[in-house]
Amino acid sequence: MTMNLSALVETHGYWMLALGCLVEGETVLVLAGFAAHKGLLEPAGVLAVATVMAMVGDQIYFWLGRWRGPWLLARHPSLAAKAERVHRLLDRWHAPLIIGLRFAYGLRIAGPIFIGASPLPAWRFTLYNGIGAAIWAVLVGGLGWVFGATAQALLGELQRYQMVAVGVVLGTGLLLWLWRRHRRRLR
């Protein structure tokens, strides 16, 4: 039994998007926006799944910070100074900080953990996390949509090149992920 890429995306696209948004998400969401432009996924479904799952992922990290944050900070004194700075910033700028963390390189996972270790009320984090997740889904998913529209305009008959386009996007995403991973190890 063979399945072409379009059928695979139509059948499992939302599940792949959901899992991808739990961890990093950008590459998967750009691809989902591209698939929505091609009519393989519904744009509203892409935005809904991306928003909810990105929010769920950050909520998990927030509660991990709430549960194990004090232990983590006690074990790693170098993190305690950074956490104190985050807590001071939260006192004054909690809304833009929580919304903007999703867009800050290297803070997508660490940010919610640090915030979870702070005294910020959970409902406040949840509110601004939801707003940030929705903005992120629209912007990054929209980027995939625009990429799809641009590719279609440039290539004309996109069907012949879809595997190449997906391969290039996946390859670029993989290289970006490996580069980020390498940079994290250097720190």
| Ordered per-residue pLDDT tens for the chain, 187 residues | 445 766 767 777 788 888 888 877 788 888 888 888 888 889 999 999 999 999 999 999 999 999 988 888 788 888 777 777 877 888 888 899 899 888 887 778 888 988 998 889 999 999 999 999 999 999 999 988 888 777 666 656 556 666 777 788 888 888 988 988 888 888 7
Q: Which domain holds residue 30?
A: 5-182
**CA 117 to each of CA 82, 90, 120, 156: distance values in angstroms, whole numbers, following the listed order:** 12, 12, 8, 51
Residue 79 · residue 73 · CB < 8 Å = yes
Residue 29 lies in a domain: yes
Residue 187 lies in a domain: no
* pTM value surpassing 0.75: no
Count of structural domains, the chain: 1
